Chains A and B, each alone.
Chain A
Amino acid sequence: MGNEESVFFSRVLTELTLSFHIIYATIGVGIPLMIMIAQWLGIKKQDEHYILLARRWTRGFVITVAVGVVTGTAIGLQLSLLWPNFMELAGNVIALPLFMETFAFFFEAIFLGIYLYTWDRFENQKKHLLLLIPVAVGASFSAVFITMVNAFMNAPQGFDLVNGQLVNINPVLAMFNPAMPTKVAHVLATAYMTSAFLLASIGAFRLLKGSNHIYHKKALFLTMKIGLIFSIAAAVIGDFSGKYLAEYQPEKLAAAEWHFETHEGAPLMLYGVLDDGEVKYALEIPYALSILAHSDPNAEVIGLNEFPEDEIPPLYIHYLFDGMVTIGMWMMALSLVYVVGVWMKWGFIRARWYRWLIVFGGPLSMLAIELGWWFAEVGRQPWILRGIMKVEDAATTSGQVDLMLLLFAGLYLILAIGSTVVLTRMFRKNPVEQELEDRELEKEGGFR
Chain B
Amino acid sequence: MTLEIIGISVLWLFLFGYVIVASIDFGAGFFNAYSLFRGKQHILTGIIQRYLSPVWEVTNVFLVFFFVGIVGFFPKTAYYYGTILLVPASIGVVLLAIRGAYYAFTNYGGLKHKRYTYLYGLTGLFIPASLSIVLTISEGGFVEETASGIELDYWALFTSPLTWSIVILSLTAVLYISAVFLTWYANKAQDEPATELLRKYALIWSVPAIVTATGIIVELRGHNPEHYSRLVDLWWLFAISFILFVGTVYLIGKRKAYGVAFGLLTGQFFIAFFAYGISHYPYLLYPFLSIYDSFTNEAMAIALIIAFIAGLGLLLPSLYLLLRLFLFNKDYVQGKRNDHA
Q: Which residues in A have some Cβ–Cβ distance to B below 8 Å?
A: 3, 55, 58-59, 62-63, 65-67, 69-74, 76-85, 87-89, 91-93, 95-96, 98-103, 105-107, 109-121, 134, 166, 169-172, 396-398, 400-401, 403-404, 407-408, 411, 414-415, 418-419, 421-423, 425-426, 429
The smallest C-beta distance from A141 to any residue of chain B, in angstroms, reads: 11
CB of A88 within 8 A of CB of B303, answer: no
Q: Which residues of A contact B340 (CB under 8 A)?
A: 116-117, 119
Q: A81-B86, A426-B109 are in contact. List 7 more A-B contacts (CB 8 A).
A: A55-B341, A70-B96, A82-B86, A88-B78, A98-B71, A113-B55, A425-B109
CB of B86 within 8 A of CB of A95, answer: no
Q: Which residues of A contact B299 (CB under 8 A)?
A: 169-171
Q: Is B243 close to A, CB under 8 A?
A: no
CB of A73 within 8 A of CB of B63, answer: yes
Which of B20-28, B100-108, B230-238, B249-257 lines the interface with chain A?
B100-108
A96 to B301, CA, bound (A): 9
Residue of A nearest to B72 (CB): A95
A114 to B150, CA, bound (A): 45
Q: Which residues of B contact A62 (CB under 8 A)?
A: 104, 108, 341
Contact partner of B297 among A65, A106, A169, A403, CB < 8 A? A169
Q: Considering the complex of A and B, which 5 residue pairs feature the smallest CB-CB distances, nearest first?
A: A95-B72, A422-B109, A66-B104, A91-B75, A84-B82
Q: Which residues of B contact A72 (CB under 8 A)?
A: 64
CB of A426 within 8 A of CB of B300, answer: no
Q: Which residues of B contact A111 (CB under 8 A)?
A: 318
Q: Which residues of A contact B76 (CB under 8 A)?
A: 88
CB of A87 within 8 A of CB of B78, answer: yes
Q: Which residues of B contact A408 (CB under 8 A)?
A: 90, 94
Q: Is B13 close to A, CB under 8 A?
A: no
Q: Is B6 close to A, CB under 8 A?
A: no
Q: Is B159 close to A, CB under 8 A?
A: no
CB of B86 within 8 A of CB of A73, answer: no
Contact partner of A398 among B58, B83, B96, B322, CB < 8 A? B83
Residue of B nearest to A118 (CB): B339
Which of B30-38, B176-184, B217-225, B307-315 lines the interface with chain A?
B307-315
Q: Which residues of B contact A110 (CB under 8 A)?
A: 58, 315, 318-319, 321-322
CB of A109 within 8 A of CB of B297, answer: no
CB of A88 within 8 A of CB of B55, answer: no
The smallest C-beta distance from A407 to any residue of chain B, in angstroms, reads: 6
A421 to B319, CA, bound (A): 33
Residue of B nearest to A120 (CB): B339
Q: Which residues of A contact B68 (CB under 8 A)?
A: 76, 95, 98-99, 101-102
CB of A91 within 8 A of CB of B71, answer: yes
Q: Is B158 close to A, CB under 8 A?
A: no
A119 to B332, CA, bound (A): 12
The smallest C-beta distance from B287 to any residue of chain A, in angstroms, reads: 19
Contact partner of B93 among A74, A95, A421, A429, CB < 8 A? A74
Interface positions of B from 49 to 94, Cβ below 8 Å from A: 53-58, 60-61, 63-65, 67-69, 71-73, 75-83, 85-87, 89-91, 93-94
CB of B64 within 8 A of CB of A396, answer: no
Q: Which residues of B contact A95 (CB under 8 A)?
A: 68, 71-73, 75, 296, 300, 304
CB of B98 within 8 A of CB of A411, answer: yes
Given A77-B93, A107-B315, A92 and B75 touching (CB < 8 A)? yes
Residue of B nearest to A423 (CB): B109
CB of B78 within 8 A of CB of A73, answer: no
CB of A171 within 8 A of CB of B303, answer: yes
A112 to B96, CA, bound (A): 20
Interface positions of B from 301 to 341, Cβ below 8 Å from A: 303-304, 307-308, 311, 314-315, 318-319, 321-322, 325-326, 332, 337, 339-341
Instruction: List 28 A-B residue pairs with CB atoms under 8 Å apart, sorted by A's residue number.
Output: A65-B104, A70-B100, A73-B93, A76-B64, A77-B93, A80-B78, A81-B82, A81-B89, A83-B82, A85-B79, A88-B78, A95-B68, A95-B72, A95-B75, A95-B304, A98-B71, A99-B69, A99-B307, A102-B64, A106-B311, A113-B56, A113-B322, A118-B339, A121-B337, A396-B82, A404-B86, A404-B87, A418-B105
